[in-house]
Chain A
Amino acid sequence: MPISVVLPRALTPFSRGVGTVRLDDPCATVAEALAAVTARWPAVTDRVLTEQGELRRHVNVFVGEESVRFLDGLETPVSDGDTITIVPAVSGG
């Protein structure tokens, strides 16, 4: 089972409309999975990571149900079948 990265709809304009990215190459960490997304669509991860490669403070990345902020950050390990969900802050009401 590949690792899936679920993008918020706000980022799909930068991924040619793809909402769930399936990564066929093995990834050991969240950082490696995001790097695989960057290789396809750099504009997507520009909005998730800072220029220093850190997670933007208004964006949450979840592995399964858990936010990586409360795990090992971008070094959080991932394994086959995991779903990584990117959740940016939205303010509309």
Chain B
Amino acid sequence: MADELPQLTAAERQRYSRHLILPQVEAEGQRRLKAARVLIVGAGGLGSPVALYLAAAGVGTLGLVDFDVVDVTNLQRQLLHGTDDVGRPKLDSARERIRDVNPHVHVEPYQTRLTSANALGIIREYDLVVDGTDNFATRYLINDACVLLGKPNVYGSIFRFEGQASLFATGDGPCYRCLVPEPPSPGQVPSCAEGGVLGVLPGIVGTIQAVEAIKVVLGIGETLAGRLLLIDALTMEFRTLRLRRDPRCPACGTREIRELIDYDQFCGITPETMPTDNRDMTDEITPAELKARLDARDDFDLIDVREPREWDIGHIPGARLIPLGEIATALDSLDPSREIVVMCRSGKRSATAAKQMKDAGFQRVKNLAGGILRWSDDVDPSVPKY
């Protein structure tokens, strides 16, 4: 087996000397790392430290999946990308950065969204997967594909000051579905774009994922399989809780999931909860129309369903703040016969609010298309985008 591993060049021996003198790694372990193929899904907050450290450590082949371009709001935490990269595809800046960190690493870029159609084909080519995605649908997709293919899935996720990490889909260990049998309904759990995240936090969680990936490749230590690591950066407490394989789990337990499914549908992502362009235009109002109606002092209520901290960054004069989580209890204080315009950052949460209100009998609810981001673009650039 060891004979089949690639040899290290003189330059590599020098570069990895601090690994080679570790009894747990030595030359054979470093050759294992060189032979390893690791797929990183998401070149963002978590994917950045994972890719940088795995590249520096000498993982021979790194697959990177990301469809996005670099946005200035990414730079607070996504260290694969720099200020000059804003507007460029993330995979372009990632490849350049990784080449600079370690030119011995081969990068295989996949400039695409991971989908049910391509996931098995891509993941099959790798030894293990590191989940650095930012949404539930892709997490379930990665999980099911890894369980079906028998590939370990190094999990990490973050929100505000808290992080989670584990290792799923190993031999007899649990999978993501054993931890989270069903996703929250859309809007129930805010994303980092909505709730914020400490920029350093993905650095902590991502480096832990990188350590787990290396331990899997080398077969050393005790991995997080069967354990969930919880990190609270504010108290700097690290706790591990026990995870068990659920015999009723449809992926790794009963194995009734034999092929990949529609994960958007599984996560309740319907046209009503998609970004505004995909919804019925009759229920929307554009920022320009809203401005005209505000200027004309038309009689309607403008309700902002974001969180108070987002409101403090900037809001539309005349709006009333009712965070999405409080809409249900606030309905009693609203008049169902009045015209209501709901708004949020991008139009997504307010679409959920509009649906809740319509379901409760409110007839005249409109959603501000594109939210305050488009308001800033089209009407008032002094309202900051975030």
Contacts and interface: CB of A to CB of B under 8 A. Distances in A.
B182 A57 contact: yes
B157 A91 contact: yes
Given A89-B184, A93-B42, A8 B162 contact: yes
Interface in B159-207: 159-162, 164, 179-184, 188-192, 195, 197, 202
A67 interface: yes
- Interface range for B: 35 or more
A9 interface: yes
B182 A92 contact: no
A10 B228 contact: no
B134 A70 contact: no
A65 B240 contact: yes
Contacts of A91: 133-136, 139, 157, 159, 189, 191
A65 B162 contact: no
Nearest to B248: A69
Interface in B227-252: 228, 230, 232, 234-235, 239-244, 246
Interface string A3-47: 000001110000000010000000000000000000000010001
A46 to B, nearest CB: 9
Nearest to B185: A58
B157 A93 contact: yes
B372 to A, nearest CB: 20
A62 B229 CA distance: 13
B46 interface: yes
A66 B156 CA distance: 20
B152 interface: no
Nearest to A85: B241
Given A65-B242, A67-B243, A70-B244, A92 B180 contact: no
Contacts of B60: none
B47 interface: yes
Interface string A77-92: 0000000010111111
Given A58-B180, A92-B45, A93-B134, A87 B159 contact: no
B157 A67 contact: no
B44 interface: yes
A89 B240 contact: no
A93 B203 CA distance: 10
Interface in B211-240: 228, 230, 232, 234-235, 239-240
Residue from A9, A60, A69, A92 having most chain B Cβ neighbours under 10 A: A92
A60 B180 CA distance: 8
A69 to B, nearest CB: 7
B62 interface: no
Given A58-B184, A91-B134, A9 B162 contact: yes
A87 B228 contact: yes
Given A92-B159, A93-B157, A67 B244 contact: yes
Given A8-B162, A9-B160, A58-B183, A93 B243 contact: no
A90 B157 contact: yes
B191 A66 contact: no
Given A56-B184, A67-B241, A10 B159 contact: yes
Contacts of B287: none
Given A47-B188, A92-B157, 7 more contacts: A70-B246, A89-B136, A89-B179, A89-B183, A89-B189, A90-B189, A91-B133
6 contacts: A66-B241, A69-B246, A91-B139, A91-B191, A93-B157, A93-B192
- In order of increasing CB-CB distance, the 4 nearest A-B pairs are A57-B182, A92-B192, A90-B159, A93-B134
